[in-house]
Amino acid sequence: MANLLNHTFNTPYQTAPFSEIKNEDFLPAIKAEIEKTKAEIDIITENKEAPTFENTIEALEFSGAQLDRITSIFFNLNSAETNEEIQQLAQEISPLLSEFGNDIRLNEALFKRVKAVWEQKSGLSLNQEQKMLLDKTYKSFSRNGANLSEDKKAILREIDKKLSKLSLTFGENVLAETNAFELHVTNEEDLKGLPESAIEAAADEAKSRDKDGWVFTLNYPSYIPFMTYAENRELRKKMSLAFGSKAFQGNENDNREHVKQIVRLRQQRAELLGYKTHAHFILEERMAKTPEKVTTFLEELLEKAKPAAIREFKQLEGFAKEEDGIDTLQKWDGAFYTEKLKQKLFNLDDEKLKPYFKLENVIDGVFTVSEKLYGLQFEETQEIDKYHKDVKTYKVVDENGELIAIFYADFHPRPGKRNGAWMTVYKPQYQKNGENSRPHISIVCNFTKPTSTKPSLLTFNEVTTLFHEFGHALHGMLANTTYPSLSGTSVYWDFVELPSQVLENWCYEKEALEIFARHYKTDEVIPMEYVEKIKESATFMEGMQTLRQLSFGMLDMSWHGVDPTGIEDVKKHEDSVFEATSLYPETPETCMSTAFSHIFQGGYSAGYYSYKWAEVLDADAFEFFKEKGIFSKEVAARFKDNVLSQGGTENPMELYKRFRGKEPQPDALLRRAGLIEKK
């Protein structure tokens, strides 16, 4: 029987036919598509005509489209709805794809044609997007070893194969450790301080595990409320140490060796390609350009944030001592006393706010904000297949009813889903044969589930997370480029967070909150004093928060911006890096690196700084919206036309300047964070 994955999907809008796909379909389908793509490459290399932009660069760009579709479905499932079988398949499929990627990038005949077009680029009348595609295509070869000798190409292949397996194993270990831990509470006294919603969710979790009492896990919707509200300090410590020691326990899921192998292989790969370090290699294709510039950027922010962070920490310490006689503030006390102090200063806590943030209302809110800014409308539809019953599916149309995108939203935790929140793509936007093929975009989050008595009520932090991921989704949905590899979020990594982070700003604005922050029982709009307090408290402990983010960026650069070959002890190395930013006493049982999935499994290696980098852009961009009105059609149109729709077709700083009229000013971020005086 023919494998349905090897054909154009006969579904509404050619969406993925999840319910018809069997796990065993993936491997043969991917193998078959690899062969088909190889045949497409052969047509390019065997072409007797002289290499041109059309017969070489464009032909290569549109090759392997079905392979890309199948692999995006597979790896998205591996993140959002995985099981042992899928994980096993991933261990087989990843090296295959890595090998195939190298077959293309190290194909001499193909590179010769690409190089021939690249060398005559000044004589070709290419538009901006074509120039960018040519440049990107040439670099995808040269930066991946096409200019190497045969023996070095063989070494590169071996390194890439190992790296693809190691990063998968790293992620599987983190997931296994997350799932392996539970805090089983049987004494009601131990629940003191916890909000009713957290207690109810823990009771549901216990029931699902056939246990009495309450079960808390390391999944964020369970872990964060526990650390924020539980009065039992010993249990907070237990949870904190379990969270901080993931894949650092000397068991079969320990990631220490994997961390060392990954960074050493990345270093070896960079040197093989003629770069000083992995960060030098990565940053060549980023706005920041060099590790030195990143380090200077982080250090300058550190200098501004550290005095504020130390002041805040002393304030927190004094408060904990006064409240409960705590002599030494520990990591497991941070969230608890921060929340208590915040309640004292602002008389505002998440439990007061949550009734106003029913998930469905927040979704409608982000839809309405998008409609006001960009004219989009979201129609929930049942005709699109889903990979899990919890997933919601939408058709996104513009003011004229034209299809803009298909949108999937997956909001609640489950065992086969990794922690955190992310946006992803099932099908990119591109233009071919006169047709503008629209994208299929998804966001995946881990928000508190509804219980038998309450709908899913979000913390304010979860509200901003939803807006953040939706900002990425808009970048994908509003894409309007010719080539799929330059479409949507296919931009420099330190630019990709701008659309997501800028959208978070609407969560703090009265005009936006009035749209969706309504009490789930009474439909009453959120009281304005709460809105004021949300704004006031937005910069609460911002110095400490900034320090924390900077510490992650510095840890990342310490692994990738210098030669890591001599690092033997992962924990010791990490401690030395954190010295400049740590406020709490050190905990020998914990290690961040062994579960730092962003840099060892995701795509953030030598790129974690980009969150802060993009914050500079987003604070500056939002000041423009504030000047003209947060629903200004004029500013929104400029943002859509110059940023959201353009993908990676041009240098991001040029796009930004065209939107803003000038380069971004870092002071906008420092003003918003309350680290320098407002004008």
Domain boundary among the residues 471, 496, 530 is at 530
pLDDT score at 419: 87
pLDDT score at 347: 87
139 with 202, same domain? no
pLDDT score at 624: 96
User: Are residues 462 and 470 in contact, defined by beta-carbon separation less than 8 angstroms?
Assistant: no
The answer to whether residue 331 is domain-embedded is no
SS3 219: coil
110 with 196, same domain? no
Q: How far apart are CA 2 and CA 11, in angstroms?
A: 16
**Total domains, the chain:** 3
Mean pLDDT throughout 58-74?
97
The enclosing domain of 96 has a CATH number of 1.20.1050.40
Largest CA distance in the chain: 82
377 with 513, same domain? yes
The pLDDT confidence band at residue 106, using thresholds 50, 70 and 90, is confident
pLDDT score at 17: 96
User: Are residues 456 and 449 in contact, defined by beta-carbon separation less than 8 angstroms?
Assistant: yes
How many CB atoms neighbour CB 91 within 10 A?
A: 13
The answer to whether residue 274 is domain-embedded is no
How many CB atoms neighbour CB 403 within 10 A?
A: 12
Please give the single-letter amino acid code of residue 228.
Answer: T
Q: How far apart are CA 240 and CA 246, in angstroms?
A: 10
Mean pLDDT throughout 79-91?
94
Q: Does position 19 have pLDDT exceeding 60, yes or no?
A: yes
pLDDT score at 350: 82
419 with 370, same domain? yes
445 with 393, same domain? yes
Bridge partners (DSSP) listed for residue 377 = 397
Which residue matches tokens 């190691």?
A: 166
20 with 94, same domain? yes
Cβ burial 67-80 (10 Å sphere, 16+ → b, else e): bbbbbbbbbbbbbb
Q: How far apart are CA 5 and CA 16, in angstroms?
A: 9
Q: How far apart are CA 246 and CA 425, in angstroms?
A: 29
63 with 212, same domain? no
Q: Does position 21 have pLDDT exceeding 90, yes or no?
A: yes
Q: How far apart are CA 350 and CA 343, in angstroms?
A: 9
| Whole-angstrom Cα Rg for the chain | 25
Mean pLDDT throughout 218-241?
96
Mean pLDDT throughout 86-91?
94
Mean pLDDT throughout 648-677?
89
pLDDT score at 671: 85
- Active-site amino acid positions: 469
Q: How far apart are CA 261 and CA 594, in angstroms?
A: 12
Mean pLDDT throughout 255-267?
98
Q: How far apart are CA 447 and CA 363, in angstroms?
A: 12
The answer to whether residue 517 is domain-embedded is yes
pLDDT score at 679: 56
Mean pLDDT throughout 224-246?
98
pLDDT score at 1: 60
pLDDT score at 87: 94
Bridge partners (DSSP) listed for residue 379 = 395
pLDDT in tens, 533-575: 888 888 899 999 999 999 999 999 999 999 999 999 999 999 9
Q: Does position 470 have pLDDT exceeding 60, yes or no?
A: yes
- Read off the tokens for 114: 């690409």
Mean pLDDT throughout 245-254?
98
Q: How far apart are CA 289 and CA 286, in angstroms?
A: 5
325: left (phi over 0), alpha (psi -120 to 50) or beta: left
**Distance between the two ends of the chain, CA-based, in angstroms?**
69
The answer to whether residue 261 is domain-embedded is no
pLDDT in tens, 339-396: 999 999 998 888 889 999 999 999 999 999 999 999 999 999 999 999 999 999 999 9
- Read off the tokens for 318: 């004094």
The answer to whether residue 579 is domain-embedded is no
User: Are residues 561 and 290 in contact, defined by beta-carbon separation less than 8 angstroms?
Assistant: no
364 with 215, same domain? no
Q: Rounded to the nearest 5°, which phi and psi values hold at 147? A: -90, 5
The pLDDT confidence band at residue 678, using thresholds 50, 70 and 90, is low
pLDDT score at 493: 85
Torsion of CA 218, 223, 224, 226, to 10 degrees: -160
pLDDT in tens, 485-511: 999 999 998 899 999 999 999 999 999
pLDDT score at 676: 76
pLDDT score at 37: 97
Q: How far apart are CA 226 and CA 670, in angstroms?
A: 31
Q: Rounded to the nearest 5°, which phi and psi values hold at 672? A: -60, -35
The answer to whether residue 227 is domain-embedded is yes
pLDDT score at 253: 98
The secondary element (H helix, E strand) that includes residue 281 is helix 278-283
pLDDT in tens, 387-403: 999 999 999 999 999 99
Q: Show the domain range for 467.
A: 355-530
Mean pLDDT throughout 45-54?
97
The answer to whether residue 631 is domain-embedded is no
The pLDDT confidence band at residue 674, using thresholds 50, 70 and 90, is confident
75 with 8, same domain? yes
Burial of 346 (0-12, 13-18, 19+ CB in 10 A): middle
User: Are residues 507 and 513 in contact, defined by beta-carbon separation less than 8 angstroms?
Assistant: yes
37 with 131, same domain? yes
**Average pLDDT in the chain:** 95
Helix 220-229 vs helix 233-244: crossing angle, to nearest 10: 140
What is the percent of the chain with per-residue pLDDT over 90, rounded to a whole number? 90
75 with 143, same domain? yes
The answer to whether residue 598 is domain-embedded is no
Mean pLDDT throughout 160-187?
95
Bridge partners (DSSP) listed for residue 216 = 183
Mean pLDDT throughout 475-493?
96
213 with 138, same domain? no
Q: How far apart are CA 514 and CA 519, in angstroms?
A: 11
> In residues, how long is the chain?
679
The enclosing domain of 521 has a CATH number of 1.10.1370.40
Q: Rounded to the nearest 5°, which phi and psi values hold at 46? A: -90, 0
